[in-house]
Structure formats: structure tokens, C-alpha cells
Amino acid sequence: MDAELRAELRDTVDDVFAETIRHLPLAEGRVDNTRARVEFQAVLRTGERDPEAPNFGRGDRARPALEASGGHLRIDRLAWPDLHPRKGDKIVALDRAALPVFEIVAVDDRSHLRLICKLGDAN
């Protein structure tokens, strides 16, 4: 896939799925004053699901209700080059009802396109 098409696809995904996130940097569970709080746009997917095999309408398998206890945050590295989330930081989903807070449990920085943060429940 050429770079121009990749950038167009990334921008389209972000236009549809991105929401406003507030990053709360922490160090050893306390506010980290060496890093600024930042509000940014990123794709946040919550509710971990196990892969399901299709049942084609047979059986009594209904999809369970989605949980808000984890998920993934995908941050566009080109749009937010100075954002460096770390394990233990928290994020707030500002566009969602009740402003849920998640803890960053892992950061995958191997992709040159996005930082991928695995999230857990912050409570």
C-alpha cells in the first residue's frame, strides 16, 4: 500500500472513530509534573471480546454485554508526536457518558503509524 493511500485511510478511520481523550501522566501513582496533561483525538475501543466462531443461528449463544473494563487506544503518531504515554498513566474518555477512566497497562510502540495502548480498569 503506498504512503498516500495509507495516510488517507488513517485519516478516514480517525474522522469516523476518534474521540477526545485526556492523558493523565503519572509516576509511581502520583501526578507526574514533568509531563503535561494533553487532550487529543484517538481511536478508543473498549470491551474486550474473545473470538467467536459463527453459529449461523443455531444454538443458544448470545453475545454477552460489552464490558468497559479494558480495551485499546490507538494514537496517530504523526498527529501527536510529542505524546508519550507510559504504563501506569491514566486516560479519560471525554466524549463518553460518565467520563470513564482507564489505566494504561502496556504501550506497544513498534508501529510507525500508531502507538497502541492496552487499557485496564482504573478503579
- The set of residues, in sequence order, having a beta carbon less than 8 Å from that of 122 and lying 6+ positions away, is 90, 101, 102, 103
0.75 exceeded by pTM: yes
Q: Where in the chain are the domains?
A: 3-49+65-121
Asked if the 3-49+65-121 domain carries CATH number 1.10.3860, the reply is: no
Which of 119 and 4 is assigned the larger pLDDT?
Answer: 119
Per-residue model confidence as pLDDT tens digits over 94-123: 999 999 999 999 999 998 889 999 999 887
Q: Measured on CA atoms in the order 91, 119, 82, 86, is the torsion positive or negative?
A: positive
Per-residue model confidence as pLDDT tens digits over 46-83: 976 555 555 555 554 444 444 456 899 999 998 999 99
Q: How far apart are CA 90 and CA 73, in angstroms?
A: 11
Q: With bands split at pLDDT 50, 70 and 90, how would you rate the model's confidence at 11?
A: confident
Q: With bands split at pLDDT 50, 70 and 90, how would you rate the model's confidence at 5?
A: confident
